Structure 1
Amino acid sequence: MGHTRPRGPELEHDFVRSPKLGYEPHGSYGCVRYLEHGFPNPLVRWHYHEEYELHLIVRTRGKVFVGDYIGHFEPGHLVLTGPRLPHNWISTDTPPEGVELRDVVLQFPDGPLRQAAEGIPELREVLPLLERARYGIEFFGISDRIMSQYERIKHSSGLRRFSEFTDLLGVLAQCSDYRLLSTVQLQSFDDDAALARISGIVDYITEHSATQFSMAELCRRVGMTESRFSRYFRKATGNTFTDFVNRLRINRACQLLMESDRYITNICYDVGFNNVANFNRRFLQIKGMTPKEFRRQAEARFGSDEAA
């Protein structure tokens, strides 16, 4: 099973961000940069970068790729991607001449916001949002409002732009109708000590997901009964222990399917499953397609190579 092009995402460097591609020119913006482009466009490719990006699709339908997530998009599709999270949107219904405007995007850095939040308590409200963005967030029901805020940001600068941007961040931070795209995420709750122990277990599971371990073993590691561990684990991750481990292993399998040519049977064992039938069943349950279909569809994330 050979491939003639690399499977990994491309790192986007700042020096390629030309106004000819839709970027605001250097020196015309501060912390928040506005971008808009059509399709096809060289920017449409499987890539990642150091900044957050808030993408709003205004025209066309097609397939979206965020980390190991594969889904469909249409006008109004609103997604926040975090630093170094690979992503791409491939339009599949464009006319032969293409479309002049498909995406409107805001791009902003991580460090300055976190540093500002240390001295400005009000900004701390957005920190959980930034953590969730590591996995990609799709928002529902707020696209029209966000589009209006995009317009105000596009036509403003300096303090006015930053004020409009913090308003937008507030809307995103308060939006409860969303889903994480690429993997599961720890949720905060009252018992900080228990959460810290569960967080340690999640780190352990993540590091050793390909090995065999039981919930009883992990309970002993943190000194919790199985019933208490199950209750807190479900509250912290939104998943049962078994579902969480399966999702973690399937996510790792997705990465190997996208970035290697290893046989699917070998990948099954590489990620910690000891039964191919169970692996295929869990994969279908979590991803809505078989591993073979996932690998075939994942090839489309490079579709812009031909379109650009």
Structure 2
Amino acid sequence: MKLKYKSNKSKEKSVVAIERIKRRHFEQNWHYHDEHELIYYLRGKGSRVVGDNLSEFEMGDLVLVGAGLPHLWKNSEEVEKDGLEAVVIKFDTSHPAFNLLSMFEFSRIKQLLSESQRGVKFNDKAVAQVNNLLVSISDADVAMQFILLLQILNILAEQTEIELLASPEFSLPANNSEEYRLNRIIDFLSGNYNSPLTLEDISDEAAMTPNSLCRFFKTRTNKTIFQFLNEYRIGKACELLINGDKSISDVCFDTGFNSLTSFNRVFKELKQVTPRDFKRKYQVLNSSIGLQTFSA
């Protein structure tokens, strides 16, 4: 999960860049860019990282990511067979067209864009209200795309029940050297989560003393290293449990935990349910809805 800067700018800077993407998998790197991004999943499921928030996504997932906020959507392995489909809308509010947001009439949208610096997840009610607009926007002409985007943002700005994803204290590295070091730590954790890592292992990889490493990581992510590692491990465990083809014991040890007791405790702390209940819930859900396609 290496943090990368992605530029979407071209010589002729467009107001809105829209893609309806269909492929087996999406980005493999934690990345950020100058544009805001609204991403709507029509098909697929997996893990989502927005800032310091790690959670699962599924069909119907709609999230607004603010400019400069690192993020990653990573599909579960089973989805690669059928592929993913999403509408991705990117827009740079530094474009002169967005000067209208300074008007009082657009104050709610301006507030929503401010909240998006933590990442905003919308509920099913909001998704239902903008579904048709999101599906049709990619086929509209350039002028209409901008109009439709404002309409979508206006509807979303009216929502009173939203989920802010990244913690208020989450911050990016202050310079390239620190960014590289944080990348290296996160890459090491995500690449070795299924091994019994110690603080010494991680500090050796980062070329830092254990105390310096702990301070550095906590300052920049508002999490301890082992909080982050446990969240990553539990995210992977959820993916394996949803797939349903492994026992809870196998999932425990495949995700780097050294005992079922520890696995069950951490899982319940983070998900508010036991691994067994989590697995049962998705088994019931899968049997009831099958492979129905999200209504678009």
1:143 to 114, 120, 127: 127
Q: Provide the residue aligned with 1:236 in structure 2.
A: none
- Unmatched 5+ residue regions in structure 2? 172-181, 189-201, 238-296
- Unmatched 5+ residue regions in structure 1? 1-6, 18-25, 186-205, 207-253, 274-281, 301-308
Task: Indicate the SS of the match to 1:262.
Answer: helix
Determine the C-alpha separation between the residues in 1 that align with 2:113 and 2:144. Answer: 22
Aligned partners of 1:76 and 1:144 also within 8 Å: no
Determine the C-alpha separation between the residues in 1 that align with 2:139 and 2:120. Answer: 26
Q: Provide the residue aligned with 2:3 in structure 1.
A: 9
| RMSD (CA atoms) | 3.8
Q: Provide the residue aligned with 2:203 in structure 1.
A: 262
* Superimposed CA distance per residue, residues 233-282 of structure 1 (whole angstroms, 9 cap, x where no aligned partner): xxxxxxxxxxxxxxxxxxxxx99963774389634455789xxxxxxxx9
* Superimposed CA distance per residue, residues 154-178 of structure 1 (whole angstroms, 9 cap, x where no aligned partner): 2222433322211111111111111
Aligned partners of 1:256 and 1:262 also within 8 Å: no
Q: 1:283 to 1:265 in 2, by over 3 A?
A: same
Structure 1 segment 203-214 matched on structure 2, within 5 A: none
Q: Provide the residue aligned with 1:104 in structure 2.
A: 87
Q: Per-residue deviation at 1:70?
A: 0.3
Q: 1:151 to 1:292 in 2, by over 3 A?
A: closer
Task: Indicate the SS of the match to 2:203.
Answer: coil
Determine the C-alpha separation between the residues in 2 that align with 1:256 and 1:43. Answer: 18
Q: Per-residue deviation at 1:127?
A: 1.0
Q: For 1:139, give the aligned amino acid.
A: F
Q: Provide the residue aligned with 1:77 in structure 2.
A: 61
Confirm or deny that 1:177 pairs with 2:161. Answer: yes
Aligned partners of 2:27 and 2:73 also within 8 Å: no
Q: 1:272 to 1:88 in 2, by over 3 A?
A: closer
1:52 to 36, 52, 55: 36
Determine the C-alpha separation between the residues in 2 that align with 1:73 and 1:163. Answer: 28
Structure 1 segment 178-217 matched on structure 2, within 5 A: 178-184=162-168
Task: Indicate the SS of the match to 1:76.
Answer: coil
Q: Provide the residue aligned with 2:148 in structure 1.
A: 164
Aligned partners of 2:45 and 2:79 also within 8 Å: no
Determine the C-alpha separation between the residues in 2 that align with 1:77 and 1:163. Answer: 23
Q: 1:60 to 1:93 in 2, by over 3 A?
A: farther
Q: 1:177 to 1:116 in 2, by over 3 A?
A: same
Q: Per-residue deviation at 1:134?
A: 0.8
Q: Provide the residue aligned with 1:293 in structure 2.
A: 230
Q: Per-residue deviation at 1:153?
A: 1.7
Q: Per-residue deviation at 1:114?
A: 4.9
Determine the C-alpha separation between the residues in 2 that align with 1:42 and 1:65. Answer: 13
Q: For 1:130, give the aligned amino acid.
A: L
Q: 1:262 to 1:299 in 2, by over 3 A?
A: farther
1:65 to 42, 49, 58: 49
Determine the C-alpha separation between the residues in 1 that align with 2:218 and 2:69. Answer: 24
Aligned partners of 2:65 and 2:118 also within 8 Å: yes
User: What is the aligned length?
Assistant: 204
Q: Provide the residue aligned with 1:121 in structure 2.
A: 104
Q: For 1:171, give the aligned amino acid.
A: I
Shifted more, 156-165 versus 102-111: the winner is 156-165
Q: 1:98 to 1:121 in 2, by over 3 A?
A: same
